[in-house]
Amino acid sequence: MADDRQHHRTRPPACSGRAQGKRGADAQGLGRSRGGLSTKIHAACEALGLPIRLIGSPGQRNDIALAHDLIDGFEAQTLLADKGYDADHLCDRIEKAGIDVVIPPKRNRKTQRHYDSELYKERNRVERFFAKLKQFRRVATRYDKLLANFMGFVKLAAIAIWLR
């Protein structure tokens, strides 16, 4: 009896017909951190604390890794951010665009930068946005497996917050 197989394996290769990048940890957006598996939501908000841009990433990913994507294309007078966004390349890029930088310096910085501590207190509006976002149970518990589905619902919840 003739063997019609083209190679010695009993079945086709596992990843031959599927597009790369649609599976795995990056597609699910789950990252291991101290508390277990988590997803991080990066948000750019306007002056009243309403979201303008939302980006999701695995939980162990550093904040600065997506900072340039988060601020691309924005025109603002001032940018407020926490210590996780304190990096020379980001601050230089923001200042070149003519935007005032209000980011407190990290404690281990060799040259401490001055920032407006009174204006930095307004950053609580972003934190209040995240508190409102967590009122949506599906966002707080993350029922969705894929990051694209989860971020779709996060954006839907952000629209509901805008409409309130």
Does residue 3 belong to any structural domain of this protein? no
Does residue 145 belong to any structural domain of this protein? yes
Domain with 43 in it: 27-163
State phi, psi for 106 to the nearest 5 degrees.
Answer: -65, 155
The pLDDT assigned to 25 comes to: 64
> What is the number of domains present in the chain?
1
d(CA 78, CA 106): 19
DSSP annotation of 105: P
Does residue 19 belong to any structural domain of this protein? no
The pLDDT assigned to 38 comes to: 86
In angstroms, the Cα distances linking 146 to 56, 62, 124, 136 are: 11, 20, 30, 18
d(CA 38, CA 87): 24
The pLDDT assigned to 13 comes to: 62
Q: Which CATH number does the domain housing residue 158 bear?
A: 3.30.420.10
Does residue 138 belong to any structural domain of this protein? yes
Does residue 18 belong to any structural domain of this protein? no
CB-CB contact of 78 with 46 (8 Å): no
Does residue 67 belong to any structural domain of this protein? yes
The pLDDT assigned to 49 comes to: 93
Query: Mean pLDDT, 10 residues at a time, over the chain (164 residues)?
Result: 63 60 72 82 94 92 89 90 92 93 92 92 95 94 90 96 93
pTM, 2 dp: 0.79
CB-CB contact of 65 with 79 (8 Å): no
